Structure formats: structure tokens, C-alpha cells
Amino acid sequence: MAWQRIRGHDTLVEGFRRAVQRGRLAHAYLFTGPAGVGKRLFALELAKALLCEKAAEGSLQACDHCPSCVQVEASTHPDFFPAVRPPEALEFPIDLMRQLCASFALKSARGRGKVVLIDDADDLNEEAANCFLKTLEEPPPRSVLILIGSTPDRQLQTIVSRCQVIRFAPLASELVDELLQAQGIDDVALRARLVRLSAGSPGLAKELADPALWDFRRALLAGLTKTPVASVGLARQWIDFVEEAGKESAAQRRRAQLVLRLVIDFLDDALTLAMNGTPRRTEPDERPGLETLARRAGPDRLLEALERCLEADRQIDRRVQLVLVLEGLMDALGQKL
Ligand SMILES: [Zn+2]
């Protein structure tokens, strides 16, 4: 498979190919762009190509079969250090960063250099960044540090200035549609919806494709269009639904945020309708519900409801207890809608 599995980033692959050919690979890269567009997969492929035992000098083509390739895929290669922020931590742990930097400074076990991959570079604090920057002062030969973040302005300036920033763009709608189809999503209308909602992120589209999410969305929106809104009951249903995602709170938070995304989308369309515009993202069968909300709440309160949803999203990011977030949100929505 190798680079063929990286879709929509041909120019970036070509750029790295040329850099390797000319021996001009940088020691540190910051990959930025929306979540779910393939930054991590790209980094993994790059690591594989750099560490592959069969790759010719100056080539960026991993063989995909040698022990190195297999070990990079499995994250067991002695010269490959992938790290993510633990799901419950708000910042990238300094101890983990120190550990990574120490391993990076050691001699390459297989003689082809080292690759460190740090996910969640948005959450580096000053201390972790300093450790990282110190490591960059004397990088071992053929070694590469890759940071993955969302946007350069979420990173500390000291990091941005020392890394080569590689921007990953959202994928074209046709490509997202093709990828969804390849994953067995045959329903054309659902695919069109997912393509619109995911804004070029196949990863997000795939998450949103969960049929349970759409069933729950339908129930929630039906509840929100009734008067009076049964806030307490709806909050309970939402909490039950996120708890079905599993015991891990990261999975529950993610599910809560996906539902929130669908609610925001719906309210956004109701707002458009309330301002006499044409809603773009809602299917005809949902029009009566939208019209009810638009008429009943009006633009000002719909806008407040949307702002309240965004606040809930930020609270979830900050790890506020989900029960509190969802109860508070439904209570507010009940009053505004
Ligand atoms: Zn190989």
C-alpha cells in the first residue's frame, strides 16, 4: 500500500520525495490541518519510508514487508517513538516528553536514524516545548521529529519557528465521498450528508456515519421541537446515549461532541430559516421541525442557543463532567427554544 493509501495530499508526498532525494529533510516538522484528514497516517508512512531496510538511499518508498516496516506499523520499532497525550490529561505530560527527548538523543538502534511522532502538539506546555527545543539543538543524523497539531497559531511561537510547517488541507468532497463508499456506505443520501458535515475530513465523516448517532439525533430534535421542551428527560437520554459508547470517558466525550455537532448543524439551519435564508444542510423531511423552531424561537434566541452549544463543546474539551455539561445545556436550550 505505502503512499497509495495517503489520499488527497499528493503535493505534500511529492515535496517530501524531493527533499529526501536531495538529502534536504528537515529535523523537525509541524503537521497542521483539521482533524481526520490523514496527518497521522502521513507521518506513519514517512516514518516507515525513512526507517525501511530495503528503501534505497534517497528514496521515500517503504517496501512494506521488511521487519522495520512491520515494526513501524505495529509501533514496536526501536527507532520509532510515537506518543499521544493520554486521553484524561489536559496537557502533554512533561515526563513523557522528557522520555521521548532522551530516547531521541540515543544512537539509532538500526542505523537508519530515529523518528519521533508527537500527536496533540496543541497541548504542549512551555516546559515540554523547551525540552523539545533543546533536543532540536543537536539532532542525531537522519533523525526527524514530527509534531501533529491543528493550526500553527495553537502552537508556541518558539516551536513554530524551529519547525518546518506542513499544512494539510481538507480533502475534496468527491474524494471524501469515494472514501466513504469504499468503507461500504452505500446510502447515497447519507453519504451526501456526511460529506457536507465533515468539511473535507474523512475521519470525521467516518465517525459521523454511525447509524446510532442519526437515530439519536432524530429523537433529540423531535424532543427539541416540542413545547414545552422536556429538558430533564432529553438530557437523561443524551447521557444514556453517550454512556453506551463504553466505559472510557474519552469515548463518551467524543460521542457527546458528535451529537453536539449534529445539533449545532440543525440549529444553524433553523437560524438561517429564521432570517429568511435557505437552509443548506437539512433534508426535506426535517423541514417542518426546522420551521417550527425558526418561528417559535426567532433569530436572537437561536443565536443564543447556538452560542450555548459552542460553550458546551468547550466545556467538554476542558473535561467538565459530562452529566453537568449536558444537563446545563439542555436546561438552557429548553428555555431558549
Ligand atoms: Zn521495509
Residue 2, φ and ψ in degrees, nearest 5: 45, -130
2: left (phi over 0), alpha (psi -120 to 50) or beta: left
Q: What does the pLDDT average to over 23-32?
A: 94
As beta bridge partners, residue 116 has 81, 145
pTM over 0.75: yes
- 149 C-alpha to ligand 1 centroid (Å): 27
Q: What is the pLDDT of residue 103?
A: 87
Q: What does the pLDDT average to over 220-247?
A: 94
What is the dihedral sign for C-alpha 255, 31, 122, 87? positive
Q: What is the pLDDT of residue 285?
A: 81
- 44 C-alpha to ligand 1 centroid (Å): 13
- 176 C-alpha to ligand 1 centroid (Å): 29
pLDDT of 1 > 60? The answer is no
Grid cell digits, residue 77: 520499532
For residue 77, what are the CA distances in angstroms to 18, 80, 173?
25, 5, 36
Q: What is the pLDDT of residue 293?
A: 93
- 12 C-alpha to ligand 1 centroid (Å): 21
> For 163-173, how does the pLDDT look when each residue is reduced to its tens digit (9 = 90+)?
999 999 999 99
- 206 C-alpha to ligand 1 centroid (Å): 29
Mean pLDDT of the chain: 93
- 22 C-alpha to ligand 1 centroid (Å): 21
Is CATH 1.20.272 correct for 210-336?
A: yes
Q: What is the pLDDT of residue 33?
A: 95
- 52 C-alpha to ligand 1 centroid (Å): 4
Every domain of the chain and the residues it spans? 2-167, 172-203, 210-336
- 107 C-alpha to ligand 1 centroid (Å): 20
Q: What is the pLDDT of residue 216?
A: 96
> For 177-206, how does the pLDDT look when each residue is reduced to its tens digit (9 = 90+)?
999 999 999 999 899 999 999 999 999 999
Pick the CATH number of 2-167 from 3.30.530.20, 1.10.760.10, 3.60.40.10, 3.40.50.300: 3.40.50.300
The rounded percent of the chain whose pLDDT value lies above 90 is 79
The rounded percent of the chain whose pLDDT value lies above 70 is 99
CA 214 to chain centre: 20
Q: What does the pLDDT average to over 239-268?
A: 95
Q: What is the pLDDT of residue 105?
A: 84
Least confident span in 19-28, 39-48, 203-212, 279-288: 279-288
Q: Tell me the C-alpha distance between 285 and 108, whole Å.
A: 60
Grid cell digits, residue 41: 497516517
- 51 C-alpha to ligand 1 centroid (Å): 7
pLDDT interval class at 21 (50, 70, 90): very high
Q: What does the pLDDT average to over 208-216?
A: 95
- Residues with Cβ within 8 Å of 299's Cβ and at least 6 positions away in sequence, in order, are 271, 274, 275
Identify the burial level of 212 via C-beta atoms within 10 angstroms of its C-beta, where 0-12 means exposed, 13-18 middle and 19 or more buried. Answer: exposed
Q: What does the pLDDT average to over 136-165?
A: 89
Q: Are strands 28-32 and 164-167 parallel, antiparallel or unpaired?
A: parallel
Grid cell digits, residue 224: 427539541
- 111 C-alpha to ligand 1 centroid (Å): 14
